[in-house]
Structure 1
Amino acid sequence: MKYLDIETSQLKAIGGFDTAKEISGQPELWGKIVDKLEKEREVIASFLESTLKKTEKIILTGAGTSAYIGLSVEGFIQRNTGVTTMSIATTHLVSHPQDYLEEGVPTLLVSFARSGNSPESIAAVKLADAHVKDCSHLIITCSADGDLAKYASKNNHLVFLLPPESNDKSLAMTGSYSGMLLTILLMGRFDRLTSMKEVVHTLRTCTEEFLNKKLDRVKKIAALGFTRAVFLGSGPLYGTAMESQLKLQELTDGHVICKNDSYLGFRHGPKAVVNEETLLVYFFSNNKKVLQYEMDLVRGMGVGKKPLKQIGIAMSDYDIPSVDELIVLGGGRDKVIEDEYLAVCYIVLGQLLAFYTSLNLKLRPDSPSETGAISRVVQGVKIY
């Protein structure tokens, strides 16, 4: 049995089995999530309908990787609910609750968590209940045994548990991230869940094609020896860029220093980080207007220090001479998939780069932190 083109026995020997299996298993996981949502449709629909009628603010929250989900969906949720929506990490919410929680504003707190055991996760829901008179909770998590899944709020709440295989065993979140992201996207258009199956099928097909036919291209990129990496994404794909930089930095134990930004934001100073040891990664939008801004930035990279390599991922085979490697997924589908859904499969590029670069550095992707500085569930946080 192979995962990411490496035999199981070898993966176990080099400490990469769980990560490789969890990255590879995402398309199948996404299908199981759709099935579970359908099975629990009545309960979920009832909760969403009754809750959104009274809600005036939605806060999307989580810690670390789980917080980045909100960055990819806040605009989508606001458009589809008509309710003011904010993405606020628990790591902000816990220290400054007064800046985000308003007593007289009916609020829906949407919490994302893999284990649900991070100290900030449970503190955030307790603070929301304490500060907001009418607070509802939607908890999306991967572990039935986590503190968050077991939280007994006296207020209106619903817990949605992803399929068990979403609860990654490896240090870095992969399937848990894309699975929770897909879940909230489907809940955002829950009245159209049946028709959204086609979108999920396309995402699965594109990702399977990537994993089955394009791994060699990612391996070559990962072997370039870059010491810096910058990921750029617009709108929903900004969250993808942020998660990608974290993934690569985590799995390389900080040997590769990473940044992320929007295309427009990158011009305002952060571009200075680029040097001859920098890998520049573009997540290209399907929105033609947005793409114009992105292409302008790419053309502008001809001025100043040249990066080691420029690579991109897109749904169409754009002619971009300055991009050294363009990975095209599901050619011709660019009119079908919106950027927020592309975030679900585009993240696989960031995950694969992180995995193969980790191996090239002789690290163990399942537990890459040689000093124990980072762990699967954060330690040492005291709640005051």
Structure 2
Amino acid sequence: MKYLDIGTSQLKAIGGYDTAKEISGQPELWGKILDKLEKERDIITSFLDSTLNKVEKIILTGAGTSAYIGLSVEGFLQRNTGITTLSIATTHLVSHPQDYFESGVPTLLISFARSGNSPESLAAVKLADNHIRDCSHLIITCSEDGKLAKYESDNDYLVFLLPPESNDRSLAMTGSYSGMLLTILLMGRFDKLKYLKKTVATIKDSATKLLSEKLGQIKKISGLGFKRVVFLGSGPLYGTAMESQLKLQELTDGHVICKNDSYLGFRHGPKAVVNEETLLVYFFSNNEKVLQYELDLVQGMGVGKRPLKQIGISMLEYDIPSVDELIVLGDVKSGVIEDEYLAVLYIVLGQLLAFYTSLNFKLRPDSPSETGAISRVVKGVKIY
């Protein structure tokens, strides 16, 4: 059996078996999530119907990788519910609850967590209940044994458990991230089930293409010897860019320093980090108007220091001379997939770059931190 084009025995020897398997298993996981949501349709619909009719604010939260899910879906949820929606990490909520929780504003707190055992995750839901008179909870998590999955509130709450294989064994979140992201995008949209099934099928097919036909290309890019990587994404893909930079830094144990930004934001100073040792990664939007801004930035990269290499990922083929390699995953027949769903798909590129670059540094992707500075569940956090 092979994962990411490497045999099982070799993966175990180099400490990359769990990470490789979990990255590879995402397309299948996404299908199982859709099936599970359908099976739990009635209880989900009942909770959302009663909750969304009374709340005036939605807060999306999580720690680290789990927090970045909110960045990809806050606009989507606000657009589809008409309710003010904010993405605020638990690491902000715990230290400054008074800045985000309003006592008299009915609020839905949506918590994302892989293990559900991070100290901030549990503290955030308790603080919300203490600070807000009417606070409902939607907990989306991957571990039925986690403290968050077992949380009970006097207010309305619903816990949605992802399929067991979403609970990554490796240090870095991969399937858990894309799985929770897809869950919140699909949840409650049962009136659009036919469209959603087609969308999930498309991103599954595109991810399978990335995980098979494009591996050689990504391996080669990972071996270029870059010391800096910048990921750029707009709107929902900004969250993808942020998660990608964390993933590559985590799996290379900080040997590669990464940044992320929006295309328009990158012009305002951050562009200064680009030098001849920098890999630039572009996550291209499917929205034609947004794409215009993105291509303007790419063209502007000809001014100033030249990066080592510029690569991009898109669903459609574009003629962009300054991009050295464009990874195209779809075609006109696949239709226009909304950027929210591209966020689920595109993160696989960030994960693959991180995995292969980790191997290039002779690290063990399942546990890349040689000093133990980072761990699967954060330690040493004291809640006051």
Is the 1:66–1:113 contact (alpha carbons within 8 Å) kept by the matching residues of 2? yes
Cα deviation, residue 282, structure 1: 0.1
1:242 alignment partner, SS class: helix
Is the 1:286–1:335 contact (alpha carbons within 8 Å) kept by the matching residues of 2? no
C-alpha distance in structure 2 between counterparts of 1:237 and 1:118, whole Å? 26
Could you say which residue in structure 1 is the equivalent of 2:347? 347
Gaps of 5+ in 2: none
Could you say which residue in structure 2 is the equivalent of 1:357? 357
Cα deviation, residue 187, structure 1: 1.3
Is the 1:315–1:333 contact (alpha carbons within 8 Å) kept by the matching residues of 2? no
Could you say which residue in structure 2 is the equivalent of 1:73? 73
C-alpha distance in structure 2 between counterparts of 1:131 and 1:184, whole Å? 25
Cα deviation, residue 188, structure 1: 5.4
Is the 1:29–1:179 contact (alpha carbons within 8 Å) kept by the matching residues of 2? yes
Return 329-338 or 113-122, whichever deviates more: 329-338
Q: Which amino acid aligns with 2:381?
A: V
Could you say which residue in structure 2 is the equivalent of 1:32? 32
Cα deviation, residue 335, structure 1: 4.1
CA distance 1:381–1:29, shift in 2 (3 Å):
same
Is the 1:286–1:334 contact (alpha carbons within 8 Å) kept by the matching residues of 2? no
Could you say which residue in structure 2 is the equivalent of 1:129? 129
Could you say which residue in structure 1 is the equivalent of 2:338? 338
Could you say which residue in structure 2 is the equivalent of 1:86? 86
Written as runs of structure 1 = structure 2, the 5 A alignment for 1:280-291 is 280-291=280-291
C-alpha distance in structure 1 between counterparts of 2:222 and 2:311, whole Å? 11
Cα deviation, residue 117, structure 1: 0.2
Residue 236 (structure 2) pairs with residue 249 (structure 1): no
Percent of aligned pairs with the same residue?
83
C-alpha distance in structure 2 between counterparts of 1:273 and 1:188, whole Å? 42
Written as runs of structure 1 = structure 2, the 5 A alignment for 1:216-227 is 216-227=216-227
Q: Which amino acid aligns with 1:356?
A: Y
The superposition leaves residues 172-209 of structure 1 with CA deviations (integer Å, 9 ceiling, x where unpaired) of 00000000000000015343234311100001000011
Is the 1:80–1:189 contact (alpha carbons within 8 Å) kept by the matching residues of 2? no
Cα deviation, residue 332, structure 1: 1.6
C-alpha distance in structure 2 between counterparts of 1:83 and 1:218, whole Å? 40
Per the normalisation by structure 1, the TM-score is 0.99
Could you say which residue in structure 2 is the equivalent of 1:297? 297
C-alpha distance in structure 2 between counterparts of 1:48 and 1:58, whole Å? 12
The superposition leaves residues 357-383 of structure 1 with CA deviations (integer Å, 9 ceiling, x where unpaired) of 000000000000000000000000000
Could you say which residue in structure 2 is the equivalent of 1:46? 46
Could you say which residue in structure 1 is the equivalent of 2:98? 98
Could you say which residue in structure 2 is the equivalent of 1:327? 327
Q: Which amino acid aligns with 1:153?
A: S
The superposition leaves residues 331-360 of structure 1 with CA deviations (integer Å, 9 ceiling, x where unpaired) of 225742000000001000000000000000
Q: Which amino acid aligns with 1:125?
A: V
2:140 alignment partner, SS class: strand
Q: Which amino acid aligns with 1:32?
A: K
2:151 alignment partner, SS class: coil
C-alpha distance in structure 2 between counterparts of 1:267 and 1:334, whole Å? 33
The superposition leaves residues 92-142 of structure 1 with CA deviations (integer Å, 9 ceiling, x where unpaired) of 010000111000000000000000000000000000000000000000000
Residue 6 (structure 2) pairs with residue 6 (structure 1): yes
Q: Which amino acid aligns with 1:140?
A: I
C-alpha distance in structure 2 between counterparts of 1:276 and 1:338, whole Å? 34
Is the 2:279–2:307 contact (alpha carbons within 8 Å) kept by the matching residues of 1? yes
Is the 1:143–1:149 contact (alpha carbons within 8 Å) kept by the matching residues of 2? yes
Could you say which residue in structure 2 is the equivalent of 1:228? 228
Could you say which residue in structure 2 is the equivalent of 1:306? 306
Is the 1:72–1:235 contact (alpha carbons within 8 Å) kept by the matching residues of 2? yes
Could you say which residue in structure 2 is the equivalent of 1:274? 274
Could you say which residue in structure 1 is the equivalent of 2:260? 260
Residue 149 (structure 2) pairs with residue 143 (structure 1): no
C-alpha distance in structure 1 between counterparts of 2:135 and 2:333, whole Å? 40
1:129 alignment partner, SS class: helix
C-alpha distance in structure 2 between counterparts of 1:213 and 1:354, whole Å? 18
Write out the 4+ residue segments of structure 1 that deviate beyond 6 Å after TM superposition: none
2:138 alignment partner, SS class: strand
Could you say which residue in structure 2 is the equivalent of 1:209? 209
C-alpha distance in structure 2 between counterparts of 1:354 and 1:294, whole Å? 24
Could you say which residue in structure 2 is the equivalent of 1:21? 21
C-alpha distance in structure 2 between counterparts of 1:354 and 1:254, whole Å? 11
Cα deviation, residue 212, structure 1: 1.2
Is the 2:202–2:334 contact (alpha carbons within 8 Å) kept by the matching residues of 1? no
Could you say which residue in structure 2 is the equivalent of 1:162? 162
C-alpha distance in structure 2 between counterparts of 1:359 and 1:308, whole Å? 20
C-alpha distance in structure 2 between counterparts of 1:128 and 1:203, whole Å? 35
1:260 alignment partner, SS class: strand
C-alpha distance in structure 1 between counterparts of 2:194 and 2:158, whole Å? 21
C-alpha distance in structure 2 between counterparts of 1:81 and 1:358, whole Å? 41
1:231 alignment partner, SS class: strand
Q: Which amino acid aligns with 1:183?
A: T
Is the 2:48–2:188 contact (alpha carbons within 8 Å) kept by the matching residues of 1? no
C-alpha distance in structure 2 between counterparts of 1:205 and 1:366, whole Å? 26
C-alpha distance in structure 1 between counterparts of 2:59 and 2:144, whole Å? 23
How many matched pairs? Answer: 384
1:139 alignment partner, SS class: strand
C-alpha distance in structure 1 between counterparts of 2:193 and 2:57, whole Å? 24
Cα deviation, residue 210, structure 1: 1.0
Is the 1:94–1:127 contact (alpha carbons within 8 Å) kept by the matching residues of 2? yes
Could you say which residue in structure 2 is the equivalent of 1:64? 64
C-alpha distance in structure 2 between counterparts of 1:296 and 1:334, whole Å? 26
1:326 alignment partner, SS class: strand
1:212 alignment partner, SS class: coil
Q: Which amino acid aligns with 1:132?
A: I
